[in-house]
Amino acid sequence: MRNAALKGSSKKPAVLIMAAVVMAAGVPASIASTVQVPEVSGQSAPIAGTVNTAQIFQHSMDIRYGEPIRAVEQQSVQSFTTGTLSHLPVFTRPGGEVIVPLGQVLPVLQTAPGNFSVVILGKGVKPVSLAGAPSAEWVVKETVAGGLAAGRHPILEIMPRFAGLKGSIQIVATSPHGYPLTYTVGLVSGASRFTPVLSFYRVPHVIPQPREVVTRDQEKQATAPIANASHADDTHANDEHVNAAHADLAWKMQCFTGDCKPIQPISVVSNQKVTYIHLPTEKSPMVLVRNKAGKSLLVSYRMEGHMLVVGAVPYRIDLIAGKWNNLTEIRLTNEAGE
């Protein structure tokens, strides 16, 4: 009898374990998703720098409607590949679009229940696999947009089922030239704030080198040094010269944002084809060139000592330095510029 009792009691733990498994399997996904998993040290700390798409508007560079985004991106990539820019910037559009450099930062897409956020991949990119964003917590739809001739963009439409979710989604894809690409996007959901559109730009494997607008012989046609009146006594103001007959001094300067002193031009002078900007540093800022309509132009530029040589005489030149969360921008304008 005792042995029988011992055998009967040995079955009870097994029955209890089976019952617990059945109960766990029967928990609805919506309830299971709220269960807090024990935190593992370092588990939720990505190595890459992250930017929240809802907060980035405070630190990013705005691109206006009608402005050629591709030209602005190419100018940034050119500066990055030549070593004059240490970090590629994050761009924003007034309608809520955030454009991040692929592989430079980890974007965290801000979402909200009841609203779809669109993630646009590169033109001609072919997704291979998608991981993350479990269906119990996220609604993910896949589609494409764009004409066949121009190249189609793969698109993800993402909406959270609940507020307070955190996670990530990873897309492994093939580039138009056959190279592997990985898109990693952090996901977070709140009560109401969301980012409508997230897209990417990237450094291509082959960077087309723009044709030099002017030759060095043209740049050496100088006879008379011209410096800004407030810095006329600067000993470095005589480093570069322009032909006095064609000199244009009608440049206006504005410190647009940040601490401008480290890159504040000592002098700005241009001839018919080139603009010379004498800087207090030998490190080149990023240069964005715009015409009077506000559209970006792709022009060449380089540093020669303290002299920044821009291969054009535009209406506006923006000098940008610093990291994405601590940008400095100086705006130079010339009414006679193109």
Residue spans per domain, the chain: 49-201, 251-334
The 10 Å Cβ neighbour count of residue 200 is: 21
**pLDDT at residue 165 in the model:** 94
Enter the CATH code of domain 49-201. Answer: 2.60.40.1080
State the Cα torsion 255-260-261-263 to the nearest 10°.
Answer: -110
Below-50 pLDDT ranges, the chain: 1-48, 59-60, 63-68, 85, 205-246
As beta bridge partners, residue 287 has 319
Burial class (CB in 10 A: 0-12, 13-18, 19+), 229: exposed
**pLDDT at residue 162 in the model:** 94
**pLDDT at residue 190 in the model:** 93
**pLDDT at residue 204 in the model:** 56
Asked if domains 49-201 and 251-334 share a fold, the reply is yes
For the segment 182-208, what is each residue's pLDDT rounded down to a tens digit?
899 999 999 999 999 999 987 654 434
Please check whether the domain covering 251-334 is classified as CATH 2.60.40.2500: yes
**CA pair distance 110, 55, nearest whole angstrom:** 9
Q: What are phi and psi of 268, to 5 degrees?
A: -135, 125
**CA pair distance 297, 307, nearest whole angstrom:** 21
pTM (predicted TM-score)? 0.46
| DSSP run (H or E) holding 86 | none
- Burial letters for 303-334: b for 16+ Cβ neighbours within 10 Å, e otherwise? beebbbbbbbbbbbbbbbbbebeebbbbbbbb
